[in-house]
Structures are given as C-alpha cells and as structure tokens.
Amino acid sequence: MAKLKKHAFKAETQKVLSILTHSLYTNREIFLRELLSNASDALDKLRFLQSKGEAIRGGDVPLEIRVSANKDEMLLQISDTGLGMTEKELVENLGTIAKSGSERFVNDMETDRASAGGHSEKSDAAGENEHSWSSGSAADIIGRFGIGFYSVFMVAESVDVISRSALGDEPAHMWSSRGTGDFTIKALEGDEAVAFSRGTVIKATLKEDAREFLEKRRLESVIRKHSNFLPFPIHLEDERINTTPALWREPKFAITEQQYAEFYSYLTYDQEKALDVIHLSVDAPVQFNALLFIPDSAQEYFGDRRDQWGLDLYVRRVLIERSNSELIPQYLAFLKGVVDTEDLPLNISRETLQENLVLRKISQTVVKQVYAHLEKMAETDAGKYERFWTLHGRYFKFAFNDFVNRDRVAPLLRFSSSATGAASLTSLDQYLNRARDGQKDIWHLAAPSIEAARVNPHMERFRKKGLEVLYLLDPVDEFALETLGAYKEHPFKSVERAEAKDLSDFSDTEESPAVAALSEDEKAAFDKLLDRMRAILGDRVTDIRVSERLSGSPAVLASPDGVSSSMEKLLRVMQKDESAPKKILEVNPDHPLTRAMLRMFEGGPDNPLLEDFVNSLFDNVRLLDGYIDDPQLMADRTLKLMDKAASWYVDLLKL
C-alpha cells in the first residue's frame, strides 16, 4: 500500500488560505476561472512539447478540459489532459505561493484585518458561525498575486488533486488538503493508476453554501462569462460549452463577414449587423489583439447608462473585466468589442488595472487606430461615414477635449449648414471649398433645429451676401468650435458676433426689396420713437438702437458682451440662473412694421396701441432668442392685436 506523506504549508500559504476560507466574498465564482485557466496552461505546455517532438505519454489522448458535478456527494470535478505534475511538482506548486512579495502582502492583509477589529463572529439563521471580515472581492485578493489554485478553498471543504506527468515514468499522485495547516501526498496504485494516463484532475468537495456550483446552469454561466474563449474544448457533463472561437486572434483575411456578424451578435445580443468592424493585431509598443464594432444603431450613454461602457479586457483569452472604461475615452463609448493582451498578468486586480502602464499604452494605440479607421471611412465611403455620424456623432464630437488627438478631430466633424439644409451634412473642408473668395471666417449659428436656424434674424445678411453658415444643433457643438478656435487658420465665429465691417468686402448675391429712405425729419422722429420704446420696455433691455444686420425682420436681440445666445443659455443653466438675460434690442427702420409704428408715434407718442405693438414686438424677438417670460401675457397681447387687426380689415372691406 502506498505510503501517505504529510507536508506542512509554508507560513504565508497558511495565512492566505485562512483569509480565503474564513472570509465572505460576493464573487466566489472566480475560482472556476482560475482552475480552468490553470488547466488551459497545462494543455498549452503539453502542445508546445509535442511541437518540439518530445516523447509524450498518451499521445493519442485529445487535448481537452472536462467539468462535472455530483450533487449527492457535493463533488465538483475539473480535469485536463495536459502536462500534469510529478510528486515533487505537486509539493512545490501546491504547497507554496511562488510569487515574490506574497509574504509582505499577507502581512498587509493581516494589518488591515487587525485595524478593522479582527474577526467578528455572528450567528446565522441556522445557528452556525461565519467570519464576516472582508476587504474586497475575491478577484481583488486573487489578483494581487498568483494564488489562482488556492481560490478553490473559498467554496471547498476539501480538495484532492490527482496528477500524472506526461513526461517520464512516474505514477500518478494524489495531493489532498482541507485548506488548513497541511496537505498529504500519496502515489496511486492498481487500476486507478493504470487508467490515469496523464494530466490533472481536481476533485473539490464543496461547502454547503457553495451548492450553487453543482448546478449545470450556474457552471455553464461562469464558464461562458470568464473562460469561453480558452483555446481547448471545455466539456460540461459531456456537452461542449466554449463553441465560439476567439475571433480576434484569427488572421483578418481568414474571417468572413458572416463570422464577424455572428460574433457581434454573440457579444452584444444585437440581431442586426454592425455598421463597421475594426480588427487590430498590434505588436508594438505592446502586444495585443482587438476586435471592435461600430453598432448600426444609436446608443445612449448620457443617461442611466453613463457608466456602462468600455471594452471587454481579456488576458490570453481569459476574461479579466467586462466593459473596461480605461481602454477607450468616453467619446468612443459607442464602441463594442474585446481587447486581448499577452502583456498583462492573468491575475490582475481592478486597482492594478487602473494604474497599469501597459493598459494606458493599449488605450492610446486603440484610439489612434480608431481615428485612422474613421478617416479612411470618411474618405472612401462618405455615405457610411455620414451614417456613423448620425448615429454616434453626438458622442464623438466630445473628442474636442482630447488634446493629444485634437488635430485629427476637426476634419471628422460634420454639421448641417445653410447650404446643405437637412439633406446632408458637411465637413469643414467642404465648407471651405464652397467659401467665397477672400472669406477668412467659418461662420456658425447655434439653434435648436434647422428650421429655427433658418428663421433666425441674424441669418438675413449672410443670406444676402451668399455666405454659408454652419448650423450647430447640439449644445456641445459651440463648445467644440470655441475650444478648437480655428481650422486651417480660419477662425470659427458666431454670426451673432458679426460686425458690418466683417461682411463689407462681399457683394450682395440677393436683391433686397426697394424701400424708400427715411427723410431727415423722419430720421429725427425715428430717434424719438426709439426713446419712447426705451421708456416702454424699461430695464428689460440694456439699450435700443438701429440695426445694421437686418433686412427682412423688424428687430433682433444682440448680446452686449458678444456671447452667443446658445452659449449664454448654457452658462445660465450651469449657474442655475433661470432669469432671462438683458440684451440690446436692434430695430430695422426699413421694415413695414417699424414704419407703421413710426406713423403711430407721429400721430401721438402716448398712443396705447403703440405700447401694445412695442411689447408684442419685444415678446416675439425674445421668443426667437429662446426666452419667454410670461406666455399668458404674451398670448393676451397677441389676441388683442389680432382682434383689432381683424376689425380694421372688416372696416376696410366696408369702404
């Protein structure tokens, strides 16, 4: 009969096992990921030796991993046909934490534990005691150093590891422990030893509170979540689980559109094809593979899902973190996909990820590659790029804050404009190609809609001069252009800040209706009318003056400090100021309405009807500017004027 050899764990291993065994963690499922990753590594090592022509025991045995559960015996079994271990390797690998620094970490854990008041015991409903101390999730603990195998003791009362090396003639040995102070090893004999050709079998007798890991559905869920892309078949109760290939590791030329579509559907549950695919294989400055998708549907990450974005991070096909937001900036939140690297340790914690230089280099490379892809799309397939912008431009335009890539942002921006309307979008290069000779500025107008932009009084002289204006329909657009400042030495400028001298060099392209000029007496009377309007409107305006910018509208509001209306609204929202700003009222003396008001004034400066007209005019220009103080009062004034106008019209018909 084989002799049973008893060994003591190294001191630091005992401490870690105590922490794992007696602490409560919400993410205990991580143990299965660790065991499957170890099994995959063992298979990889065996395959490498086979490729070198080494003599391997059981050469015809398939390379695979099998998982099974016995509910009656509370037994979970994970087996692989990989390299296996000798007796000496079992002692070395499972009796000691190999990674340097582990002792210090365990001491740190003990210090944290002591400062938290040590173990506190409490009775549960069944009357059993459990330790409640916890400093984080299991992934955090495991991730601090290589203790993947020991994570099994989070769920197991006892563990048997049967292993036989594929090299040499040594028989199989069984390592056994309850995760306390020691472990035993014995050689297998008889039929059991003969039947075991090579590899490793882990038999874990689970704790009562870990019974969930005996359910096939639970095991399948964990395997698919963490280990679905391991390169070897994983069978659960004789059914292969990991049937989806790690497509990102395949050469691009060998992948069909259908395979990309199927993987995208698997990844996102989106039944529609992605708009585009970005497949990367990078060797420097870090080595990684990435498979990214641009969805063909609008995404929402400004509301409740503002934190639910990022790429899935894998290390050698093993999932480390879903939706890792360190891999891409937020303006690329619409991207779906995976990044897989060889340059990160498999057991890396979330805290370490956030500080990792390798991850930052991967992110920088991914961003540059996405820019290159979008630039090519914009150049070679304008229709697809416009579709991309319509769906995801509202996020991508926030790239104006990316100072590293700022020069690449502006050419990719798209806008509606007075030249394109709602039919299509324009780039800044296309805008400049259509600009008039001698035009230095890129003019823009912020508005809530294209229709609102068209009727904005500030647009009148630009239409008259044949100057194209970009329509900024999203509040962030103006921030973007203000931050960028200029494009190819052409400053961005709001039409609201345009002065007469800015347009004086451009001839009119539209003829304005002929209007008789005011006589000198009428000019003097008009100045007095403006005084009367100042008295009527009082401190609702900062001043009233004759406008140089209007041709088709009676009046417009202008900012006294040059800030555009939309920017002022945003600033007031941020300052939580709900009051309407006081502005300059500019009046067009050639408009029929103001001429009629002049005649009213000449008939009697105190005419109450004149006051109604002035107030109504101000209500309307305020409304065009995006503000309305008292809608009920405005409606009442409008109805009164309509009533009088209708009476006058009826009286005229009687004449």
The residue-averaged pLDDT of 67-90 equals: 95
Please state, as a whole number, how many other Cβ atoms lie within 10 Å of the Cβ of residue 181. 13
Asked if the model's pLDDT at residue 565 lies above 90, the reply is no
- Please report which confidence band the pLDDT of residue 130 belongs to, taking 50, 70 and 90 as the band edges: very low
311, β-bridge pairs? 324
- Please report which confidence band the pLDDT of residue 26 belongs to, taking 50, 70 and 90 as the band edges: low
How far CA 232 is from CA of 149, 317, 319, in Å, comes to 19, 11, 15
Q: Could you tell me the pTM of the whole model?
A: 0.78
Domains of the chain plus CATH, in order, are 5-99+131-240 (3.30.565.10), 247-385 (3.30.230.80), 413-503 (3.40.50.11260), 520-654 (1.20.120.790)
What are the residues whose beta carbons fall under 8 Å from the beta carbon of 11, sequence distance 6 or more? 103
Distance CA 272, CA 457 (A): 44
The residue-averaged pLDDT of 94-112 equals: 54
205 within 8 A of 159, measured Cβ to Cβ: yes
| Kind and range of the H or E run holding 446 | strand 442-446
Q: Which residue has the higher pLDDT, 34 or 375?
A: 375
Asked if the model's pLDDT at residue 190 lies above 80, the reply is no
612, β-bridge pairs? none
Q: Got the DSSP string for 249-310?
A: GS-GGG--HHHHHHHHHHHH---SPPSEEEEEEE-SSS-EEEEEEE-SS----SSTTTT---
Percentage of residues in the chain having pLDDT higher than 90: 55
Dihedral through CA 46, CA 48, CA 50, CA 54, nearest 10? -90
Q: Got the DSSP string for 553-607?
A: -SEEEE-TT---HHHHHHHHHHTT--SPPPEEEEE-TTSHHHHHHHHHHHH-TT-
Q: What is the pLDDT of residues 232-272, one digit of tens each?
A: 999 999 999 998 889 999 999 999 999 999 999 999 988 89
Percentage of residues in the chain having pLDDT higher than 70: 87
pLDDT at 613: 92
- 606 burial via Cβ count (<10 Å: 0-12, 13-18, 19+): exposed
What is the DSSP pairing of strand 442-446 with strand 490-494? parallel
Q: Which of 435, 439, 413, 461 is nearest to 558 (CA)?
A: 461
pLDDT at 634: 85
What is the DSSP pairing of strand 75-80 with strand 65-70? antiparallel
Q: Please provide residue 628's backbone torsions phi and psi, each rounded to the nearest 5 degrees.
A: -155, 120
| Kind and range of the H or E run holding 313 | strand 311-315
Distance CA 179, CA 33 (A): 19
What are the residues whose beta carbons fall under 8 Å from the beta carbon of 94, sequence distance 6 or more? 149, 161, 175, 177, 183
Which amino acid, residue 589? P
The residue-averaged pLDDT of 166-176 equals: 92
- Please report which confidence band the pLDDT of residue 1 belongs to, taking 50, 70 and 90 as the band edges: low
